[in-house]
Amino acid sequence: MPPNLKDLVVTRLLPRVQMPAQYVGDELGAVVKDAGRVRGRLCLAFPDAYTIGMSHHGLQVLYAVMNRRDDWACERVFTPSADMEQLLREHGVALWSLETFTPVAQFDVLGFTLQYELGYTNVLTMLDLAGIPLVAEERTREHPLVIAGGPCTANPEPMARFIDLFVLGDGEQSLPQVCDLWLQLRRGGGDRETMLAEMAMRLPYVYVPRFYEPQGDRGFPVPVWPGVPTTIEPAIVADLDAEALPTALVVPHVECVHDRITIEIMRGCPGRCRFCQSTTLKRPLRIRSVETIVRAALESYRNTGYNEVSLLSLSTSDYPHLDELLRRLQDVFAPLGVNISVPSLRVGRAWRTLGGLLSTYRRSGLTLAPEAASDRMRRQIGKRITNEDLYEGCRKAFGNGFDRVKLYFMCGLPGEEEGDLDGIIEMSETISRLGREVRGRPASVVANVSNFVPKPQTPYQFNAMERREYFLEAREHLHRRKRLRSVQLKCHDVESSLLEGALARGDRRTGRAIELAWRSGARFDAWNDRLRAGLWWEAFGQAGIDLEETLHTPCPTDTPLPWDHMAIHQGRAYLEREQRQSAAQLAQTRT
């Protein structure tokens, strides 16, 4: 790699790509350290576009955690767009980090965050452009340690072929420990396999796939290296309030998906929604104090100048001190003209009291997630709200200045009937009419309908996913039922959902399909205009994977599954019990 890499990029590559500012770094808040003054170097890799990755709160958290240390330098890299990928290959230029234009292959550790399954091919693109062998077992001690964390570690098997080790659970404390131990072992002179075995045996939240072999029809991984654990336990930050929030945020040069301050006020969720993987993975519930949140928000504002603060959690309305928090934030930020965004609202009796306070911040849109449109279905999926709660809450919100509502539903839930689909339209149109009753004109309602994917580590992991034909017919049915122009219906792409299910529920053989799809040109599969579904279905066929079994065949609750070695807070017995209770509740409603 030439020493004047930055000059080459700036003069020969950037003039030929769209949005060149995403490739040069040097943003406000970026941390640049002298490589000669640190012990180790970590590159955080987000397998999607810069504009998406820079909106991700977790990336900012880990970037701050590692850069607070004097002995480690932490830098960033994102997936280059198609135009830049082509130029890198034409010019023989390896992928670089934003902070110092260092080739990614020269870092000690390369850490991917796996937030969604449809980003998997982007991981392969980044490894290949960096000059790092795709297959983990082909790397030597001279290559970086390639690690991955995030929600997709719920089932790491599809990516096991490409990742050296997975880090399960919270990253604030585990990531520094992984980096330190790797550096210690690397300087001890051992071979790569021995070092990885030591990592697996000494860190309970680390999973090294090469030391496990899939067994049985479903590919349950069994240890084959002496001393590695049978079950991987997640890392858990016990005292969330003691973990410093990032406040010296990196401020991008270009407009991103979310240009705002994000403050995580609570981790975990008191709800027990049976469809929700995040609820399972993020237990136990932990909260931050009002004082910590307000202080971090104000410090972030002073460092960035952003005019919006977003409160992040799985269910913000369940934060136990929400009234006090909103009043404190109002006192601090209203004089500054800063908006407070409160997503993840769970409609309920307590929520009705917040309408007036929330309208102080934003009087336009309200986002709610009823998930299903009938009390019957919500009881079955574990969503503890009623239609009455929803309508009364919306009435209160309309009376306090809100005039637009986004609703999120799922189609294809276990036990769904035609009446449940009808209910989506009925509920959306009822809410629009409530706007007319309260404000004199219909409320604008957007009903977003996603296709249910039974995810690993949820009670519905044992259920089959509905077929393509079901989702297509359901979408047509919903459009036929809609009457009001004030209600807009948005249905998620069916092929995208089926691919998500195939990747989420796959075993280790799925890695072969991922590689075949990538070599055939699959990139940015989470983007509807980039997804080439036919290419993927061909890749699964070439890999010998039966999607009928993976997607559409239910699993007996006593069957070992490919992800069972990944422990969760309450254990598999909890998932089995919840699945049985759900089935019993469903049977009662049908008798």
The full set of domains in the chain, from first to last, is 5-223 (3.40.50.280)
Residue 552 half-sphere exposure toward CB, CA atoms < 13 A: 11
What is the signed CA dihedral for 220, 226, 232, 237, rounded to 10 degrees?
-170
What is the full DSSP assignment across 402-463?
--EEEEEEEES-TT--HHHHHHHHHHHHHHHHHHHHHHSSPPEEEEEEEEP---TTSGGGGS
Copy the structure tokens of residue 61: 């958290």
Report the alpha-carbon distance of residue 308 to residue 60 in Å, rounded. Answer: 17
CB distance 179 to 72 below 8 Å: yes
The DSSP secondary-structure symbol of 467 reads P
- Using an 8 Å Cβ cutoff, are 4 and 96 in contact? no
* pLDDT value at residue 158: 99
Residue 360 is predicted with a pLDDT of 54
Residue 516 to residue 539: CA distance in whole angstroms: 6
Identify the pLDDT of residue 302: 98
How many other CB atoms sit within 10 Å of the CB of residue 217?
Answer: 10
Q: Give pLDDT, residue 343.
A: 77
What is the full DSSP assignment across 477-539? HHHHH---TTEEEEE--HHHHHHHHHHHS--TTHHHHHHHHHHTT---TTSTTT--HHHHHHH
Residues 559, 505: Cα–Cα separation, whole Å = 14
Contact (Cβ atoms closer than 8 angstroms) between residue 126 and residue 79: yes
The token duo for 395 is 């009435």
CB 421 within 8 A of CB 411: yes
**Gap between the Cα atoms of 379 and 385, Å rounded:** 8
* Widest pairwise Cα distance in the chain: 75
Residues 6 or more apart from 157 whose CB is under 8 A from it? 209, 214, 219, 221, 506, 507, 508, 510, 511, 562, 563
Could you tell me if residue 84 is left (phi over 0), alpha (psi between -120 and 50 degrees) or otherwise beta? Answer: alpha
How far, in Å, CA of 543 to CA of 512, rounded? 6
Tens digit of each residue's pLDDT (9 = 90 or more) over 353-378: 555 556 555 555 788 899 999 999 99
Angle at 289 between CA 288 and CA 293, to 5 degrees: 80
Look at residue 271 in the predicted model and tell me its pLDDT: 87
Q: Please report the pLDDT score of residue 349 as a whole number.
A: 44
Task: Report residue 305 as tokens.
Answer: 């100048």
Q: What is the pLDDT of residue 568?
A: 87
Which segments in the chain show pLDDT lower than 70? 1-3, 344-364, 590-591
Predicted structure pTM score: 0.95
CA distances from residue 244 to 20, 61, 282, 348, 354 in whole angstroms, order as listed? 33, 9, 18, 31, 28
Instruction: Write out pLDDT tens, residues 175-228.
Output: 999 999 999 999 998 899 999 999 999 999 999 999 999 998 889 999 999 999
What pLDDT score does 259 carry? 94
Its sign, for the CA torsion 267, 272, 275, 281, is positive
